[in-house]
Chains A and B, each alone.
Chain A
């Protein structure tokens, strides 16, 4: 079975350019998450969706970041304009149903490594 698919795997861009990251969750999963990982701050939750509806976007750093989920099989994270401090690995993850004390498995994509010069 296909896992979470992200594209692009690597992106190098210049400050001020628009960046769009894409994610295809595992079929049937009803939660989708966008995380950002840096050495200094680790994995930070940016936003998550349930059944394509944004539930919590409190982790989105500022208005330059936006995320959409137009259907159950596709989501985008957009940065416009990009800045050097946005350089990080952006992970998309999906999961099935709510967490209980005995579940909690997020399935991560391989990540999109973004470098903003």
Chain B
């Protein structure tokens, strides 16, 4: 089983739609969780951290379910500029450390 699993997509949605991505992780001791965004042929960039209580940043909402070991990202009112690959990222090392594990990403295409 992969450490971090995501549906590769692509998710094709119309502009203005709400779309949600899920991600599961295998190590129950994982401490830190993040969503990164990667545009086509570009480097990944941090989108947002995922907190236990859930957190929101504008149109983006991230949630963590430790019991089920999954993380979600909700994007409301999708924009064309949201088209990208969204990477679920987990720090699997208990107590910290810097060894982030990336999922293979979910591709989002927002269309007119």
Footprint of B on A, CB under 8 Å? 31, 33, 35, 41-45, 48, 50, 55-56, 91, 95, 98-106, 108-111
Contacts and interface: CB of A to CB of B under 8 A. Distances in A.
B54 interface: no
A100 B99 contact: no
Contacts of B32: 99-101, 104
Contact of A105 (B31, B46, B101, B105): B46
25 contacts: A31-B98, A42-B104, A43-B87, A43-B102, A45-B100, A55-B98, A56-B99, A91-B44, A95-B98, A98-B96, A98-B97, A99-B96, A99-B100, A101-B32, A101-B49, A102-B49, A102-B51, A103-B49, A104-B32, A104-B91, A104-B100, A108-B44, A108-B45, A110-B42, A111-B43
A74 B48 CA distance: 28
A109 B101 contact: no
Interface of B: 31-32, 34, 42-46, 49, 51, 87, 89, 91, 96-105
Contacts of B34: 104
B43 A104 contact: no
B28 to A, nearest CB: 16
Contacts of B102: 35, 42-44
Nearest to A35: B102
Contacts of B91: 99, 104
Nearest to B36: A106
Contacts of A48: 98-99
Contacts of B99: 45, 48, 56
Q: Which of A31, A43, A102, A105 has the most CB of B within 10 A?
A: A43
Given A99-B32, A102-B51, A111-B43, A42 B100 contact: no
Contacts of A101: 31-32, 49, 51
A43 B46 contact: no
Contacts of B97: 98-99
B43 A110 contact: yes
3 cross-chain pairs, A with B, having the tightest CB-CB distances, nearest first:
A42-B104, A108-B43, A43-B102
